[in-house]
Structure 1
Amino acid sequence: MQKITLALSRAAATSQLRQIDETKPITWEFSGFSQNGEDGIIDFLTQKIINPNYYFIEVGASDGMENNTSWLAFGRKYEGIMFEGNVDSLIRLKQNVLPLILGVEGHHLFVSLENTDEIISKSLYSSPDFFSLDIDGNDYYIAKALLEKGFKPKIFAVEYNSAFGPNNSLTIKYDENFSIDFGNYENYLYYGVSIAAWKKLFELYGYKFVSVERRGVNAFFIDPSCFEGQFVESLDGIQFAENFYQLIKYKVSWEGQIFHLNNKELLKI
């Protein structure tokens, strides 16, 4: 409970420091539960939806204390589903967070191409207001499968790997059992998908790129039909940002980081 109170207090404090420019997503950022400024971007975008259903889905929700949807649940009274593949994290989520918020379910799911239907079948809507995907691995393949099946969230948040650079359209090879190797210096950067590959995929399904957040972890896309046209056309987001944590860890920009991926199998999109 203390951690939740701290997160809500942090959100209240940092949100008040903003000087919002509706055209520049970097000015929307604040952090309560999110790792970086995602809470602010999500909060602002959801308020711009023309006909909201106040429903979210997050795949990779962790224990609910550091994710992209707890702010919506606590601060905005959204309902939805949090999926998590790690059993220990899910237990903490169900014990410490979900009892405090009504209308939010927690489910165990190590998502793969074989079980994406479970996400769709459990959702109340085929077009929830907000969908977050952060599984540190097969993200591209899962997003593509969901979109192919007609699942179309109004706002789609995805993690990208800045080590691939701003223009290389790349992803890792699909492996249903993939798990990021956090403890290995050489293998740590082998995960996920580039921002350029995300832009290609979402453009195919009619989405509009909004921005990445300034610490270079998440990117945001919207279904433009769900927002006022003038707002959509005026957006001036950040096209690419270095992952702040990777920059600190490796002490070099993406051009140096990608060197560690020379012997890894990467697929061009």
Structure 2
Amino acid sequence: MGAAHTSVARFFLNAVANPGWCEIACITLRSKLQQRTATPLNKKRRLVVLFILGPPLTLTSARTMLKQLLRRGFRFAGRWLADGARESVPQQIKLWGEEEGVIFKKTAQYLDNIHVHTWQSKEFQSVAFEDYLIALQMKKFGDRYIAKYSTHLFSQTYEDATISEIFSRIGVQHKTFLEIGVGDGSENTTRLLLMLGWKGLWIECDAIHCESIRNNFHGEIVSGRLQLIHAMATPNSIQSLIDSAKLGEQIDFLSVDVDQHTSHLFRAIKTPARVACVEYNAHFPPTIDYEVPYKPDEVWDGTNWFGASLKRIEIEGEKKGMVLVGCDLMGVNSYFVKEDLAGGKFATPFTAEYHYQPPRFSFVRGQRGHKRRPVNASNSY
């Protein structure tokens, strides 16, 4: 078997394993391989690639799926996949001369082991590449990089770890927070702070989410550690909503993530914060100063036209006496610290051009590791 043929075989054996499969089907890839290799296949020796199936597939749908997987293989597998591939395929797996539709139980067992153990599973590849990118960030920013730890309990883009890293450098003073746009409370940037004994205010416009919060965080609300305001925050109303909660003259942490008009709300907030996490639109290049115009009834439509560029958020932070100290790897959130607290503790310069991260939204995952603790278990902390 040629190196190119072997590499394709090994890619499919290792990369397409899925949980819940029922059987192994042998599919001929003769025509596709002949398009991509200089050596034609012998007519009497057809290369059969093992493909994992759940429910039975038609030949047409199977060929379509294999075509997509083959394209993935040539894009990502790389030259190393061909090296030593022959040795990686067990002898009991026969790739030559078998008729289509033959089932191999031993092969199924081998592929099951691959699914469990190999790094080429989809999740493991994603995590490995993510860690590789973190290593590159560390080379650029050094130990002052704020998003160095890819872990979280209740956040979406590792905010838990980044917030913890920032406060480990500047210290905690008030243990108070304010978050605008918290969802149902199961996943946001301040739930972990609440669980760690902080107190603060959540502002959420969705009635169903607010009802869920009242049910699942009843203990925190009754104790006074959590205040919830059901309201649509606008530039005209946001400060009065904050003042009604009596959080104090200064808070430790502010989070603003309302998709469409984040920068407008950030600008309107007068209560000073020592640290802020503000969503930015990474589709805009870091040199562009722009925000979408404010329209009271407009909501995010799911496209790349929302919010504000990182440069615009940087400028708004400067007006509040804060400096941009970094962004998360996914290109979702920017982080600010009071200028008088930042000296010598964070990577400089404090500019959008230096700290910008491009959109990597495919890395956003609900959890990394074990499943998240249920929201209705929060009161047991």
Same fold by TM-score, threshold 0.5 exceeded?
Answer: yes
The equivalent of 2:296 in structure 1 is: 176
Aligned residues: CA RMSD: 2.9
2:326 alignment partner in structure 1: 211
Give how far 1:215 is off. 0.7
Conserved? CA contact 2:236–2:268, under 8 Å: no
Task: Encode CA deviations 1:208-229: one digit per residue, 9 max, x unaligned.
Answer: 111000011000001133x363
1:77 partner amino acid: G
**CA 1:55–1:230 in structure 2 vs 1: closer, same or farther (change >3 Å)?**
same
Pick from 307, 310, 319 the counterpart of residue 195 of structure 1: 310
| SS at structure 1 position matched to 2:298 | coil
In the alignment, is residue 245 of structure 1 matched against residue 347 of structure 2? Answer: no
Deviation at 1:242, TM superposition (A): 2.0
Deviating more after overlay: 17-26 vs 130-139: 17-26
**Residue in 1 aligned with 2:188?**
67
TM-score by length of 2: 0.53
Partner of 2:162: 41
The 1:98–1:230 alpha-carbon spacing in structure 2 relative to 1, beyond 3 Å, is: farther
Q: Quick check: which has more Rg, 1 or 2? A: 2
Given that 2:227 and 2:245 are in contact with CA atoms closer than 8 Å, whether structure 1 keeps it comes out as no
Structure 1 segment 140-155 matched on structure 2, within 5 A: 140-146=263-269, 149=270, 151-155=271-275
Aligned match of 2:254: 131
Q: Distance in 2 between matches of 1:208 and 1:26?
A: 16
CA distance in 2: counterparts of 1:176 and 1:246, whole angstroms: 30
Q: What's the CA shift for 1:236?
A: 8.4
SS of equivalent to 2:251: coil
Runs of 4+ that moved beyond 6 A: 17-21, 233-238
- What's the offset of the Cα at 1:54? 0.4
SS of the residue corresponding to residue 193 of structure 2 reads helix
Q: Following superposition of structure 1 onto structure 2, how do residues 108-123 of structure 1 map, counting pairs within 5 Å?
A: 108-116=230-238, 117-123=240-246
The equivalent of 1:267 in structure 2 is none
- The one of 229, 238, 242 equivalent to 1:107 is 229
* Aligned-partner SS, 2:276: strand
When residues 235 and 78 of structure 1 are mapped into structure 2, their CA distance, relative to the original with a 3 A threshold, is farther
Post-superposition offset of 1:174 = 0.5
Deviations 1:5-58 (A, max 9, x none): xxxxxxxxxxxx999975111214422111111111111222333461000010
Q: Paired residue for 1:221, among 333, 336, 349?
A: 336
Gaps of 5+ in 2: 1-130, 365-381
8 A Cα contact 1:46 1:129, kept in partner: no
Contact 1:120 1:126 in 2 (8 A): no
Aligned residue among 287, 290, 296 for 1:167: 287
Distance 2:275 2:246 in 1: 15
* CA displacement 1:59-83 (0-9 Å, x = unmatched): 0011111110001111x21111111
Instruction: Quote the Cα distance in structure 2 between the aligned partners of 1:89 and 1:57.
Output: 17
Rounded Cα–Cα distance in structure 2 between residues aligned with 1:45 and 1:224: 13
Contact 1:172–1:193 (8 Å) recurs in 2: yes
Superposition map of 1:9-48 within 5 A:
22-48=143-169
Q: Which amino acid aligns with 2:213?
A: L
Q: What residue in structure 1 maps to residue 174 of structure 2?
A: 53
Q: Which residue identity lines up with residue 319 of structure 2 in the other structure?
A: L
Deviating more after overlay: 216-225 vs 173-182: 173-182
Amino acid corresponding to residue 273 of structure 2 in structure 1: P
**Superposition TM-score, scaled by structure 1 size:** 0.74
- Note if 1:97 corresponds to 2:217: yes
Question: How far apart, in 1, do the equivalents of 2:177 and 2:349 lie?
Answer: 23
Higher relative contact order, chain-length normalized (CA < 8 Å, sep 6+): 1
Counterparts of 1:247 and 1:72, CA distance in 2: 23
Query: What secondary structure does 1:83 align onto?
Result: strand
> Secondary structure in 2 aligned to 1:137?
helix
